[in-house]
Amino acid sequence: RIMRPDDANIAGNVHGGIILKMIEEAGAIISTRHCNSQGGEPCVAALARVERTDFLSPMCIGEVANVSAEITYTSRHSVEVQVNVLSENILTGAKKVTNKATLWYVPLSLKNVNKVVEVPPMQYARKEQEDEGKKRYEEQKLDRLETKQKNGDLIFPVINPEPHTVGYSQSSLIHLVGPSDCTLLGFVHGGVTMKLMDEVAGIVAARHCKTNIVTASVDAINFHEKIKKGSVITISGRMTFTSNKSMEIEVFVDADPFVNESRERYRAVSAFFTYVSLSKEGKALPVPQLLTETEDEKRRFEEGKGRYLQTKAKRQAQMQQQA
**How does DSSP assign 100-115, residue by residue?**
EEEEEEEEEESS-TTP
**222 labelled catalytic:** no
The whole-angstrom separation of Cα 253 and Cα 152 is: 11
The whole-angstrom separation of Cα 323 and Cα 303 is: 31
How far does CA 93 lie from the centroid of its chain?
A: 29
CATH domain 2-146 topology: Thiol Ester Dehydrase; Chain A (3.10.129)
The whole-angstrom separation of Cα 159 and Cα 100 is: 41
Residue 278 bridge partners (DSSP): 212, 284
Q: What is the pLDDT of residues 60-103, one digit of tens each?
A: 999 999 999 999 999 999 999 999 999 999 999 999 999 999 99
pTM for this structure?
0.90
Q: What is the pLDDT of residues 19-62, one digit of tens each?
A: 999 999 999 999 999 999 998 899 999 999 999 999 998 899 99
Query: Which of 198, 212, 219, 254 does the annotation list as catalytic?
Result: 198
Contact yes or no for 181/255 (Cβ under 8 A): no
Q: What is the pLDDT of residues 153-173, one digit of tens each?
A: 777 778 889 999 999 999 999
Q: Residue 208 pLDDT > 70, yes or no? A: yes
Taking the domains of the chain in order of start, what are their residue ranges?
Answer: 2-146, 166-322
**112 labelled catalytic:** no
Query: Which of 9, 66, 84, 151 does the annotation list as catalytic?
Result: 9
Percentage above 90 pLDDT, the chain: 80
Domain 166-322: which CATH number of 3.40.1350.10, 1.10.287.610, 3.30.1490.190, 3.10.129.10 = 3.10.129.10
